[in-house]
Structure 1
């Protein structure tokens, strides 16, 4: 713990940096969304190309065609995301809404089926809030697809930033 404690300032600085990035992301959610989607497309294209190269290098394998086709599909999907990031953002936002709805229903079922006492209310509340978030995103779709992905990234950066900053401050005070 001593080595970590002596580096408390780095945790604090990292946390503050993430908070700053989160605020920048919040300042323009549209640009944040497009940048995130575009980067995803680049990563998908790179992974697809790498998959194709590995398939060609292992062309004597019985799985050559499966590897090649999957690499081509992955690269093609990456290209589509790069060429049309707005469409990709709309698809991703719809997927997020559906995933939140499904997760909310699952959490609600866990809560309602639980034999635990007062604690089950947290599962029920979590399920209802998650479902409402999914419904809110779904009812605003496709217009909100211009900012939902950016909002999720901005919130994540802020939460992580505050967590690291508070961890650094806690390390400092325990010296």
Structure 2
């Protein structure tokens, strides 16, 4: 028996496939932004940290507005106001001092990679799983990244975040381009 939404699921790829060119253009544009972020890593770091600051300031405003809705409960009101103020202060610091903030964030990222690497390697040995080498490789890469960031700190703060954003954009670009090419194959029918 066919379910009511099966028709939409079957028709969706064809409707998307017609517009595969837009997906390809988006993938290429994101790839260009990724390459630019890697080339201009310091500028990308400033932009990423500034954007995070804007998000935190916006969140602080939302938290403060929410605190008004719980004004009848004084203890909740003050907790939310304090939380909103703290989030706002961190956002302002990120926005006004992006490079100093980037250094602090890079230090936290370095410790994250180190802890993640040690945890992954420890888990691999304790769990006795098949494919142990995958976990060891992942843990080793995390340790290497953490040590790279930590040994060069604070100078790694200038480029690390921008470079990571650029690499992430490149991977997203490749996946969107692969999707676009898959949609193209759907729209043109089988190749053979």
Partner of residue 37, structure 2? 25
1:64-103 matched pairs, under 5 angstroms:
64-103=77-116
2: CA distance, partners of 1:70 / 1:127 = 35
2: CA distance, partners of 1:153 / 1:49 = 26
Question: Secondary structure of 2:72's match?
Answer: coil
Partner of residue 154, structure 1? 166
Pick the structure with greater CA Rg: 2
**How far off is 1:30 after superposition?**
0.5
1:6-17 matched pairs, under 5 angstroms:
6-17=18-29
Partner of residue 110, structure 1? 123
Q: Output the aligned Cα RMSD.
A: 1.3
2: CA distance, partners of 1:152 / 1:77 = 22
TM-score (norm 2): 0.86
Gapped runs of 5+ residues in structure 1?
none
1: CA distance, partners of 2:99 / 2:40 = 15
**How far off is 1:143 after superposition?**
0.6
Output one character per residue of 1:136-165: Cα deviation in whole Å (capped at 9) or x when no partner: 111111011001000010001111001111
**How far off is 1:11 after superposition?**
1.7
For the pair 1:49 / 2:61, whether they are aligned, the reply is yes
Check whether the contact 1:114–1:120 (CA below 8 A) recurs between aligned residues: no
2: CA distance, partners of 1:110 / 1:9 = 44
Question: Secondary structure of 1:59's match?
Answer: coil
2: CA distance, partners of 1:26 / 1:52 = 37
**How far off is 1:5 after superposition?**
2.0
Output one character per residue of 1:95-148: Cα deviation in whole Å (capped at 9) or x when no partner: 11011111111110121123234x111111111111111111111110110010
**How far off is 1:47 after superposition?**
1.1
User: Which contiguous aligned blocks of 4+ residues in structure 1 show a shift greater than 4 angstroms?
Assistant: none
1: CA distance, partners of 2:128 / 2:83 = 45
For the pair 1:39 / 2:58, whether they are aligned, the reply is no
TM-score (norm 1): 0.94
For the pair 1:141 / 2:153, whether they are aligned, the reply is yes
Question: Secondary structure of 2:71's match?
Answer: coil
**Worse-superposed segment, 50-59 or 75-84:** 50-59
